[in-house]
Amino acid sequence: MTPQTTSLPATAPAPRTARAIRNFIDGEFVDGVRGFDKIDPVDGSLIGQVHEAGAAEVDRAVAAARAALDGPWGRMSVGERARLLRGVADAIERRFDDLVAAEVGDTGKPETLARDLDVARAAANFRSFADTVSSAGLDSFLTELPGGRTALNYALRKPLGVVAIIVPWNLPLLLLTWKLAPALASGNTVVVKPSEETPSSATLLAEILAEAGVPDGVVNVVHGFGAGSAGELLTTHPGIDGVTFTGESSTGSAIMRAVAPRVRPVSFELGGKNAAVVFADADLDTAIAGLARSTYLNTGQVCLCTERIYVERAVFDDVAAGLAEQAARLRLGRPEDPATTTGPLISQAHRDKVRSYFELAQQEGATLLAGGGIPSFGDALDGGSWIEPTLWTGLDNSHRTVREEVFGPVAALIPFDTEEEAVALANDTDYGLAAVTWTSDLSRGHRVAQRMRVGMSWVNTWYLRDLRSPFGGVGLSGIGREGGHHSLEFYTEPTNVCVQL
């Protein structure tokens, strides 16, 4: 079955003038050493020229962050920082439409998704961490010593320092603010390196932060690539006190090697090959709708998306048919069209990668239930990075397409017979980010969810988040946890004070 494709030739946007997307350092926009093109994934048109930061720009950004850390920002009280973060959230909401336009332009995702998820969560992240830092505390102990003496031990939090924040292209604003808000709440200064694919919202956010009163040098943005560019210059810089990164596992390994000589802390949320388990007693309509969302949201370009679906054999055919029908109903089209549910992949290069897995699955003997190709629109959209939502059967855990992260709109359906087998299949992976269990048996739901070797385990839902809860993975899926006080554990250094009384 082929998903529906739509376009709006009568209301298609007029050709845009390519704009300059510059670095933001010490409160001002700065040119880079060279420019590179930012291409619209919707139709392949040129959005702008991005200024790539060189060594001098990265040095200047780190120096500005250090100076701000040692200045008034470093002496600001927790209450003052919390009030400022709430002001940032208000400023984001005032520039809501501008941020939506930046996210949609960079990613091609539907405007409805950018509004309901990306930009809304950006404001929520700042408010959440303002609340978290306002209520955070550490241990204190009153200790009796020999001879009738006593001592008071209490711990306090100090900023980690100058933090490098490196964020991916799939949810660029959401994931940037998920790191930036706790970093600022804790009193750090930062240098942000957004993905070269999605430079716009980070640049706009820097402007919004300045408007909200964040002092110069506290937040700096440098553009570029990874190896041999701004990413490597930043992670190897001696002035960086820690690195937080979301993205591919292989890039996380490279960053670990870069910071190892200076023994800098890292916080990583990396890739996933996430599993869902559907038991025969599940509400199948709810489960199928949930699986469609967890497989195809944001064109499958979410670290938490489901790529492996294990279904109890008695209902396997029903789930396969229902999910294939859901895939076929998805509407591919322009982001401004309210009927659009699914955007393009981020780039032609990423489409080549995803398509290579489609071809590999075919070679491995997969049976195609939906998608599997590149859609045709018959207009300018054919120049974009589109691919069809796809579903396979006929593979198992021995196949590469079931073991390697595709990061696209695709999942493999695999049958199982027993609960033990389902858990074993789900845990048979080098990744460990997220899992979903679908069942009407609440005891089984608890039991299976707790046995999943993952950082996040959902039952009868997906992507439902309390921003105070721990977020992260195990194995190739990352190091550390984000969310609530868990974020503060990375962005602060505890100092113990002992006073003999």
Tokens of residue 52, six digits:
């790539």
CA distance 283 to 306: 18
Instruction: Indicate if 419 belongs to the active site.
Output: no
Name the CA radius of gyration of the chain, rounded: 24
Which contiguous run of DSSP H or E holds residue 25?
Answer: strand 23-25
Write a three-state SS string for 329-361: HCEECCCCCCCCCECCCCCHHHHHHHHHHHHHH
Question: Among the options 303, 305, 312, 482, which is catalytic?
Answer: 303
How distant is the alpha carbon of residue 465 from its chain centre?
A: 14
Quickly tell me which residue has 């790529």 as its tokens.
307
Q: What is the distance between the alpha carbons of residues 481 and 472, in angstroms, rounded to a whole number?
A: 5
Provide the token pair at 290: 């949930």
DSSP 12: P
For residue 234, give both structure tokens: 């930043």
Concerning whether 269 is annotated as a catalytic residue, the answer is: yes
Report residue 73 as tokens.
Answer: 């920002």
Q: State the catalytic residue, choosing from 52, 111, 196, 269.
A: 269
- The C-alpha angle with vertex 491 and arms to 488 and 496, in degrees rounded to 5, equals 75
Residues 187, 40: contact at Cβ < 8 Å?
A: no
Structure tokens at 179: 């790191």
Q: How far apart are CA 152 and CA 139, in angstroms?
A: 11
**Three-state secondary structure along 183-227?**
HHHCCCEEEEECCCCCCHHHHHHHHHHHHCCCCCCCEEECCCCCC
Written as six digits, the tokens of 412 are 């493999």
Which residues are known to be catalytic? 269, 303
